[in-house]
Structure 1
């Protein structure tokens, strides 16, 4: 297949002090431990690179008592990519763990849904519980990038580059978008937080942090429609991704574009 992209999942943090009740609404095993991994993703085709999300930095980790393993700017080094070389960033949504490193990529134009910027800067942020996963400094960075002419807004489905499209899902946040990428294995769907875990999508289990439950539930079917086959859906935070895809000789980076190397059992 011509015009395909390489896709890498880059783990920069993990949080193991969680239970299933933090991941699934109404789960009968709510107190069973349930770990979470934190990723960003790099798309590469020849000299072209697109970063999907930016993670968060050490200062944010300390502020939230959620330390990171690797600074997002340094996490790309094993792939031979420097932060200054990144010119396109797809921001799936503006939560701290997806947009907390925007300042680390100063030359990047940001691609996001218009609904997400409106949500993150609008009256919903008057509520502490809704504002909790956002950080004001990250939103200010996005606004400064906007005033520098380096934000492209999308409203629904859009093409970022040949073989790379974004699709508004909503649910978890008002303007959450998934990313579809043409790869050697077919159309791969980076779900981001449209499905934190395989179990969210495949068992139709809602994640508790939700602004629109109907959008979230409908989004699981949308992810399946975007991917060539369901095993090419890549959830945003599931440690099981490490059980399905090979690393590149670096234990924190997985290669996704050849498809799962092991049977998908979730």
Structure 2
């Protein structure tokens, strides 16, 4: 069973004036010689990834697998920085993304072309497939057509890595999903993942929030949610801290 480490906690925020923040969740799964990242994070995470791995006595060369929930820039952006890793990408998701014209919202064109170009180090996966020991793919369409979540056998409680099928605690509680290509499909995906949590008494890691669990019928955060934003205004440096439960 896997030991789990949050390298960067996701945050449920976005900017209407400067596009999405892209503060996605990034977790490391460790079992024996296998070290697995769930998603690759956005480019801004590069220093945070190096720092987080170093705290665990690791570097990017120690990562054996990168498992991608979907092909938006903040989830696939850094897959090339792991020289020894196999990148796992949904077969349906890649087929869809490869047909989108350059400049399609949230789709990183060059990353998609690189995934298609590589003959080695990229594996395609499908719903229901145990892609690695103890890690099973779960179809969770809506946010994107081929989105996948993952059920992971963890040392203490099983975990569901939902990606942006469930971005935050609000979506898990209400089944109302922001930023989706198919609202009905998203609602069905959230319901499916809630049912899995109920059946397993597990933990859900959303795409843009801290880990969640069900307390009766209510989803609750298992850790404090916090962020810090720095800015400059009128020649003065400012900083905003935000913590929520």
TM-score normalised by the shorter chain: which range applies?
0.7 to 0.9
Question: Helix, strand or coil: the match of 1:110?
Answer: strand
| 1:100 paired to 2:73 | no
Q: Residue 133 and residue 230 in structure 1: after superposition, are their counterparts in 2 closer, same or farther (change >3 A)? A: farther
Is residue 133 of structure 1 aligned with residue 103 of structure 2?
A: no
- The runs of at least 4 aligned residues of structure 1 exceeding 4 Å deviation read 12-17, 228-231, 239-243
- In structure 2, the CA distance between the partners of 1:222 and 1:186, relative to structure 1 (3 Å rule), is same
- Contact 2:102 2:109 survives alignment (8 Å): no
Runs of 5+ unmatched residues, structure 2: 213-219, 228-243
Q: Matched residue of 1:133: which SS?
A: coil
Q: Which runs of 5+ in 1 are unaligned?
A: 24-34, 59-67, 252-264
Equivalent position to 2:29, from 31, 40, 43: 43
Tell me how far apart the structure 2 counterparts of residues 84 and 225 of structure 1 sit (CA, whole Å).
37
Structure-2 residue corresponding to 1:156: 127
Q: Secondary structure in 1 aligned to 2:144?
A: coil
1:6-25 map, 5 Å? 6-11=3-8, 18=15
**Alignment check: 8 A CA contact 2:12 2:168 kept:** no
Match of 2:222 in 1: 244
1:116-265 equivalences under 5 Å are 116-122=93-99, 125-126=100-101, 131-145=104-118, 147=119, 149-207=120-178, 209-227=179-197, 228-229=199-200, 232-238=203-209, 244-245=222-223
Cα distance change, pair 13–189 in 1 and its aligned pair in 2 (3 A):
closer
Aligned-partner Cα distance in 1 for 2:93–2:54:
30
In structure 1, C-alpha distance between the alignment counterparts of 2:183 and 2:34, rounded to whole Å: 36
Query: What's the TM-score, normalizing by structure 2?
Result: 0.76
Q: CA deviation at 1:106?
A: 2.4
Secondary structure of the 2:153 match is strand
Q: Which residue of 2 aligns with 1:62?
A: none
In 2, the alpha carbon distance for the partners of 1:45 and 1:14 equals: 27
Against the structure 1 CA distance between its residues 7 and 117, is the aligned structure 2 distance closer, same or farther, given a 3 Å change threshold?
Answer: same
Q: How many residues align?
A: 219
Closer, same or farther: CA 225–162 of 1 in aligned 2, 3 Å: farther
